[in-house]
Amino acid sequence: MNWLSISSGAFLVAFVLYCAAFLFYVIAVIGRKWKNRDPQHHLRKWGRIAFICSSLGLAAHLAFFFTRWAGAGHIPTSNMYEFMTLLGMMIMIAFTVLYAIYRAPLLGMFALPLTILIIAYAAVFPSEVQPLVPSLQSNWLRLHVTGAALGEAFFAVGFAAGLMYLLRVTDYNDKSASARRSQFWLEFSLYVLVVVAGFIITVFAFRGAGYEATFLREELTIDAYGNEQWTRETIEYQMPPIVKPHGSEPVSVRPFLGLDRPLFEAPAWMQGVNAGRKFNTVIWSIISGTILYGLLRLAARRPLGAVIHPLLEGIDPEDLDEISYRAIAIGFPIFTLGALIFAMIWAEQAWGRFWGWDPKEVWALITWLFYSAYLHLRLSNGWHGLRSSWLSVIGFLIVMFTLIGVNLIIAGLHSYAGVS
Amino acid sequence: MLENTKCECGHQNPPDTALCESCGKPLGTEALTDGPLEMRYDGVARRSQKSNPNLLDRIWSFFSSVKVAVVLIVITLIAAIFGTILPQENAFINFDPSWYEEHYGLAGKIYYMLGFSRTYESWWFITLLVMIGASLVICSLDRVVPLYRALNKQQVRKHIQFLTRQRVTYAADLEDDDAEWMRKLAEQFRKRRFRVRVEDNALLAEKNRFSRWGPYINHVGLIIFLLAVLARAIPGWQLDEYVGVREGEIAHIPETNYYVKNLDFEVEFYSDDELPERLKGTLRPKRFVTKAELYVCEANCGSTALEPVLRKVKEHDIVVNDPLEYKGLKLYQFDYDTTPRLKTIRPVLVDLKSGETYGPFELSILEPEPEYELGPYRLKLITRFLDFTVNADGVPGNKSSQPNAPAFLFLIEGPDLPEGGETFFYFPIPTDRERFGQDLINGELAERFDFRVTDMAHVEFLGDVSYLNVRVDRALPYIFAGAFISLIGLVMGFYWQHRRVWLRIDDGRLTLGAHTNKNWYGLRSEVAAALRSAGLEADPKSLDNGGKRR
Amino acid sequence: MKGRKRKITQVVILIGILLLGGYAVGTSLFKSDEKPKIGGRPPAFENVADVEGNLHSLADYRGRPVIINFWGTFCPPCVAEMPAIERQYQKYKDQGLVVLAINLSEDDITVRDFLKRFNLSYTILRDRNRMIERKYALRSYPTTFFIGRDGRILDIDTGGMTDEEIERYILRLLET
Confidence bin at B496 (pLDDT 50/70/90): very high
For an interface test with C, give the residue of A225, A227, A357 to mutate (most C CBs within 10 A).
A225
- Average pLDDT across chain C, whole number: 85
What is the reported pLDDT for A14?
94
Tell me the pLDDT tens digit for each residue of C101-131. 999 888 888 888 888 888 888 999 988 877 7
Highest mean pLDDT among B126-130, B234-238, B320-324 belongs to B126-130
The structural domains of chain B, ordered by start, are 46-150 (no CATH), 155-215+483-543 (3.30.310.50), 238-338+464-473 (no CATH), 342-461 (no CATH)
Is 80 exceeded by the pLDDT of residue B80?
Answer: yes
Is 90 exceeded by the pLDDT of residue B431?
Answer: no
Q: Rounded CA gap, A304 and A309, in Å? A: 9
Question: Residue B260: which H helix or E strand, with range?
Answer: strand B258-269
- Give yes or no: residues A308 and A159 share one domain: yes
Q: For residue C12, what is the nearest residue in chain B, using CA coordinates?
A: B56
Q: Which residues of C touch A225 (CB under 8 A)?
A: 74-75
Tell me the pLDDT tens digit for each residue of B303-319. 666 778 889 999 999 98
Tabulate helix, strand, coil % of chain B (nearest 5): 35, 30, 35
Q: Which residues contact B417 (CB under 8 A, 6 or more apart)?
A: none
Q: Rounded CA gap, B78 and B42, in Å? A: 34
Q: Rounded CA gap, A270 and A409, in Å? A: 9
Number of domains in chain C: 2
A34 belongs to a structural domain: yes
**Contacts of C among chains (3+ CB pairs under 8 A):** A, B
- Give yes or no: residues A287 and A344 share one domain: no
pTM given for the model: 0.83
Tell me the pLDDT tens digit for each residue of A6-32. 888 999 999 999 999 999 998 888 887
How large is the C-alpha radius of gyration of chain B?
A: 41
- Give yes or no: residues A293 and A260 share one domain: yes
B254 touches chain C (CB under 8 A): yes
Is 50 exceeded by the pLDDT of residue B444?
Answer: yes
Tell me the pLDDT tens digit for each residue of B42-77. 777 665 455 667 888 888 888 988 899 999 999 999
C69 belongs to a structural domain: yes
Tell me the pLDDT tens digit for each residue of C75-104. 888 888 898 999 999 989 898 899 999 998
- Give yes or no: residues C95 and C168 share one domain: yes
What is the reported pLDDT for A17?
95
- Give yes or no: residues C117 and C144 share one domain: yes
A420 belongs to a structural domain: no
A341 belongs to a structural domain: yes
What is the reported pLDDT for A279?
82
Confidence bin at A326 (pLDDT 50/70/90): very high
Percentage of chain A beyond pLDDT 70 is 93
Is 60 exceeded by the pLDDT of residue A322?
Answer: yes
Domain boundary, last residue among A248, A275, A301:
A301
What is the reported pLDDT for C1?
41
A419 belongs to a structural domain: no
- Give yes or no: residues C54 and C98 share one domain: yes
A76 belongs to a structural domain: yes
Tell me the pLDDT tens digit for each residue of C32-45. 556 777 888 888 88
Percentage of chain A beyond pLDDT 90 is 38
The domain containing residue C11 runs over which residues?
1-31
- Give yes or no: residues C98 and C130 share one domain: yes
C11 touches chain B (CB under 8 A): yes
A416 belongs to a structural domain: no
What is the reported pLDDT for B306?
74
C123 belongs to a structural domain: yes
Mean pLDDT (whole number) for B517-537: 87
How large is the C-alpha radius of gyration of chain C?
A: 23
- Give yes or no: residues A155 and A24 share one domain: yes
The domain containing residue A69 runs over which residues?
3-172+302-409
Model ipTM value: 0.87
Contacts with B, C 102-141, CB within 8 Å:
104-110, 113, 116, 126-129, 131-132, 134, 139-140
What is the reported pLDDT for A1?
54
- Give yes or no: residues A68 and A115 share one domain: yes
Q: How many residues in chain A?
A: 420
The alpha carbon of residue B396 is apart from the nearest alpha carbon of chain C, in Å, by: 10
Domain holding C67: CATH number? 3.40.30.10
Q: How are strands ordered across the β-sheet holding B363-364? A: B363-364, B342-345, B459-461
What is the reported pLDDT for A146?
93
C40 belongs to a structural domain: no
C109 belongs to a structural domain: yes
- Give yes or no: residues A42 and A148 share one domain: yes
The alpha carbon of residue A287 is apart from the nearest alpha carbon of chain B, in Å, by: 26
What is the reported pLDDT for A225?
45
C36 belongs to a structural domain: no
Q: Rounded CA gap, A190 and C92, in Å? A: 78
A104 belongs to a structural domain: yes
- Give yes or no: residues A85 and A61 share one domain: yes
Is 90 exceeded by the pLDDT of residue A61?
Answer: yes
Phi-psi region of B464 (alpha: psi -120 to 50; beta: other; left: phi over 0): beta
Phi/psi of residue B298, nearest 5 degrees: -110, -15
Number of domains in chain A: 2
- Give yes or no: residues C143 and C64 share one domain: yes
- Average pLDDT across chain B, whole number: 84
Domain boundary, last residue among A269, A285, A301:
A301
- Give yes or no: residues C54 and C118 share one domain: yes
A87 belongs to a structural domain: yes
What is the reported pLDDT for A173?
85
What is the reported pLDDT for A53?
94
Domain boundary, last residue among A301, A329, A354:
A301
